[in-house]
Structures are given as structure tokens and as C-alpha cells.
């Protein structure tokens, strides 16, 4: 977004992470979303990247893009958003506009951000400063549907501000914008996008459990069903990342606070969160059925990121599989060419390899369908008695014992 805005306006990118700021100022983007040459060219013209708050004072629009995670009890964690609101309040001037892009529940922008900004800035909402909400729409790793090619929802705290914000985004969004009637409507639209996807994946994940018991291949069933024009082609799998596996809890929390229990949303979340343990237990049972000794066995896990062909491993459910398999005293090797070991958090105590270690494995679990694994010859790494479990229907079926 900073790259695109800097093609039209002086743009300042601010982050608390000094390492991230230094990296970007060297012309390097570790997320691999931006071409390094494009970044360097923008830094030479209208783009500044900094960790110094005072450098932001000249701005008229402040766009907040911090994470909105959940805590260990699956409750919304507004800590980053509250902190960002405090930071903005220190430098906000009369006439400025704050736009939130984080996924929140309907009402959160005005219920959480506005009071903090008013209290710390001594400015009055919708008189001295204004708010907008334009939810992030980005597909990590997708080089076709990039930021400017995805329709952007916009909204503002009054009709005049809403129009200004919409015109601002129209400068960079080639696909066009959709101006929502209110901030709450825009917030709701974003959170149901991810909730709908979560529920649909939960449905096919439940189907995979049923079809596994019946003894038929879920992907083959879905291929057949897809011949009907209006069948939605969702596939079973792990639901991690910082959006789909998190955002439904925000809507659920708001719903519960109003006295309504959102049964389908929470049911879908429970089912999707259960898949890591289900997969681990399936793999172990498959090994036992082939008379493979589980204790001290060598298991290869292919892929660690939360989705294919990108380095993002936030809230990856592969970690949950790893921890579950560890309970069986297995020797686990995780391979992911997309993961930079420096980006791993402190509580990850195991190594992630770029390439498959030169050893024999009793079981292989393909967890993420990186293109790097497409033509992989696993035979040199497999023992004579072995199990190959393909979560994504990605590997050659001739070598696969089970697909999710």
C-alpha cells in the first residue's frame, strides 16, 4: 500500500520493529510481496520508512494496519490496535483522518479507537478529526490478484469524509472501490468474508472425516460434485494464518456480548481447530496399521507456512501437528524452503530445513503444497515400510497412502 500511495503522494511508513524498518530501507522485503527494485525506486522518491514518531507529523491521513489477533482463550486482543491509536493521538492535528484497515467486529473502530484518540489528543471526533474504515484485502503469495487489482471497501465517519476516503483509495485501486454506507457496515463486510470461508472449509473438513470412515477419497468426491455449476469448490485442510483462523472469533465475541450465541460460526471454528490433532492421530494410526514402530520413528513434514508459496507462518497449524506428533516420541524433520529461520519466534525450538535431510523416513506428511514440492521424488528418502499422507491432494497418487 505504501508503494502504491507513494506513486501519488508523499508517503511515510512507520513501524515499531526497528529491524523491519532497517530491512526496508536497504531495499529488501522479507515478506516477498514487493519487488526489491520497485521498493528501492520508491525510496528514492516519495516513500520514507521510519521508526520515529515525530517524522509522521506532516501527514493528513493515518492508515492503521496492525494485527488483530486473539489471546489463548480465543478472545479478541485489541492491544496492537489500542497502542496504534495512542501513537496516532500524539501527532494528530485538526482536520486529520484516521483510517483503520484491521479486521475487527462491527463497531470496534468507533468504540475502541475513537475514545483513545479523543482522550489523548484533546480533539473531538467528527469535528476536529475524522475516522474511516477500509478493510485490508490482500492474498499473500498471489502475484496475480495484487493490491491494486482487488476491489476495496471504503467508509467514513460522515458522508463528506467517506467520499474523500473513497477518492483517496481510487488513486491506487485499479479494480475500483465500493463505498459502504457506514463504518460498521464496512467492518461487518470484512469479518463475514473470512467467517464464510472458515465455515465452508469446516464443512469439507467434516466431510473428509466422514469419507475417511467410509473409505473413499474426499478430493475425488469433490471433483465429482464440482461438475454441478453452483457447487462451491472448497477443499479440506488446515485453517491457520492471521485472518480466516482468527477473524470469526471477533464476530462471535460481539455477538455473545449482545446475548446471541453464534452456533454455526463457533462450530466451524471448533472443527477447523481440531484438524491438526485429527491429522496427527490419523498418521500415527496409519503407521501402526503398517506395523511401523512409532516410538523413535523418523517423520518428515513438508511445509510449515500457513499457506503455499509464501513465507508467512503466523498462526500456522503445522506447528500444532508437530507438537502432537512429538507426544509419541517421534523424530521429526520439518522442511520448508520459504521459511527464514530468523523469522521464527522464540518458542520454536526446532530447526526448519531448506532441503530434505539425507536420511530415511518412516512417514512423510505433506502439509503445505509449495510449488517446490510439486515434482519431488520422495523414494530416495523412504524406508521400505513407509506411510505417505498428503493433506493437499498434491503428490502423485501412486505413492500416497492417504489424502485428507
Q: What does the pLDDT look like over 320-345, one tens digit per residue?
A: 999 999 999 999 999 999 998 766 76
Tabulate helix, strand, coil % of the chain (nearest 5).
40, 15, 45
In the DSSP assignment, the letter for residue 359 is: S
The verdict on 325 and 387 lying in the same domain is yes
Residues with active-site annotation: 243
- Whether 15 is in a domain gets the answer yes
- The string of pLDDT tens digits covering residues 208-247 is 999 999 999 999 999 999 999 999 999 999 998 888 889 9
3-state secondary structure 83-141: HHHHHHHCCCCCCCEEEECCCCCCCHHHHHHHHHHHHHHCCCECCCEEEEECCCCCCCC
Average pLDDT, the chain: 94
- For the chain, how many structural domains are there in total? 3
Between 142 and 312, the higher pLDDT residue: 312
The verdict on 254 and 335 lying in the same domain is no
- The string of pLDDT tens digits covering residues 45-82 is 999 999 999 999 999 999 999 999 999 899 999 999 99
pLDDT at 345: 63
- Asked if 232 and 225 count as a contact pair (C-beta separation under 8 A), the reply is no
What's the predicted TM-score (pTM) here? 0.91
- Asked if 299 and 325 count as a contact pair (C-beta separation under 8 A), the reply is yes
The verdict on 311 and 255 lying in the same domain is no
- Whether 82 is in a domain gets the answer no
The verdict on 299 and 344 lying in the same domain is yes
Where in 259-310 does DSSP place strands (E)? Answer: 298-302
Per DSSP bridges, beta strands 298-302 and 352-353 are unpaired
- Last residue of a domain, which of 272, 291, 314? 272
The verdict on 295 and 390 lying in the same domain is yes
The verdict on 391 and 282 lying in the same domain is yes
Of 294, 312, 316, nearest to 363 (Cα)? 294
| Dist. CA 288–CA 363, nearest whole Å | 11
| Dist. CA 16–CA 324, nearest whole Å | 34
Listed in sequence order, the residues at least 6 apart from 213 whose beta carbon sits closer than 8 Å to its beta carbon are none
Average pLDDT over residues 276-296: 96
- Whether 203 is in a domain gets the answer yes
The verdict on 280 and 389 lying in the same domain is yes
Does the structure show a pLDDT above 80 at 349? no
- Asked if 60 and 96 count as a contact pair (C-beta separation under 8 A), the reply is yes
Per DSSP bridges, beta strands 382-390 and 97-100 are unpaired
pLDDT at 398: 86
- Whether 282 is in a domain gets the answer yes
Range of the structural domain that residue 304 is part of: 275-403
| Dist. CA 379–CA 191, nearest whole Å | 44
The verdict on 303 and 263 lying in the same domain is no
Amino acid at each position: 500500500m505504501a508503494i502504491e500511495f507513494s506513486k501519488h503522494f508523499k508517503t511515510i511508513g512507520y513501524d515499531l520493529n526497528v529491524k523491519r524498518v532497517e530491512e526496508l530501507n536497504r531495499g529488501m522485503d522479507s515478506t516477498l510481496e514487493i519487488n526489491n527494485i520497485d521498493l528501492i525506486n520508491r525510496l528514492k522518491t516519495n516513500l520514507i520508512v521510519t521508526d520515529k514518531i515525530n517524522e509522521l507529523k506532516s501527514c493528513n491521513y493515518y492508515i492503521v494496519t496492525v494485527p488483530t489477533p486473539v489471546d489463548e482463550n480465543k478472545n479478541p486482543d485489541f492491544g496492537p490496535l489500542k497502542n496504534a491509536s495512542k501513537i496516532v493521538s500524539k501527532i494528530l492535528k485538526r482536520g486529520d483522518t484516521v483510517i483503520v484497515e484491521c479486521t475487527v467486529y462491527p463497531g470496534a473502530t468507533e468504540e475502541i479507537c475513537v475514545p483513545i484518540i479523543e482522550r489523548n489528543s484533546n480533539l473531538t471526533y467528527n469535528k476536529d478529526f475524522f475516522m474511516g474504515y477500509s478493510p485490508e484485502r490482500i492474498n499473500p503469495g498471489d502475484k496475480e490478484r495484487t493490491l491494486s487489482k482487488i476491489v476495496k471497501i471504503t467508509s467514513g465517519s460522515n458522508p463528506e469524509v467517506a467520499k474523500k476516503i473513497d477518492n483517496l483509495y481510487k488513486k491506487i485501486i485499479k479494480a475500483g472501490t465500493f463505498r459502504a454506507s457506514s463504518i460498521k457496515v464496512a467492518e461487518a463486510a470484512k469479518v463475514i468474508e473470512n467467517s464464510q470461508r472458515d465455515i465452508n472449509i469446516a464443512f469439507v473438513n467434516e466431510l473428509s472425516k466422514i469419507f475417511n470412515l467410509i473409505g473413499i477419497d474426499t478430493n475425488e468426491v469433490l471433483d465429482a460434485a464440482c461438475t454441478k455449476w453452483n457447487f462451491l469448490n472448497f477443499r479440506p485442510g488446515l485453517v491457520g494464518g492471521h485472518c480466516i483462523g482468527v477473524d470469526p472469533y471477533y464476530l462471535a465475541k460481539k455477538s455473545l456480548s449482545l446475548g446471541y450465541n453464534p452456533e454455526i460460526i463457533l462450530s466451524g471454528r471448533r472443527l477447523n481447530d481440531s484438524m491438526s490433532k485429527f491429522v496427527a492421530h490419523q498418521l500415527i494410526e496409519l503407521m501402526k496399521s503398517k506395523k511401523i514402530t512409532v516410538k523413535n520413528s523418523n517423520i518428515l513434514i513438508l511445509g510449515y507456512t500457513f499457506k503455499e508459496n509464501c513465507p508467512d507462518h503466523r498462526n500456522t497449524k503445522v506447528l500444532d501437528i508437530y507438537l502432537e506428533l512429538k507426544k509419541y516420541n517421534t523424530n521429526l524433520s520439518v522442511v520448508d524452503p520459504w521459511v527464514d529461520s530468523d523469522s521464527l519466534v522464540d518458542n520454536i525450538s526446532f530447526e526448519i530445513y531448506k532441503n530434505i535431510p539425507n536420511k530415511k523416513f518412516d512417514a512423510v506428511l505433506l502439509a503445505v503444497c509449495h510449488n517446490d514440492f510439486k515434482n519431488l521424488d520422495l523414494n530416495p528418502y523412504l524406508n521400505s515400510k513407509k506411510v505417505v499422507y498428503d493433506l493437499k491432494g498434491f503428490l502423485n497418487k501412486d505413492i500416497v497412502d492417504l489424502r485428507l
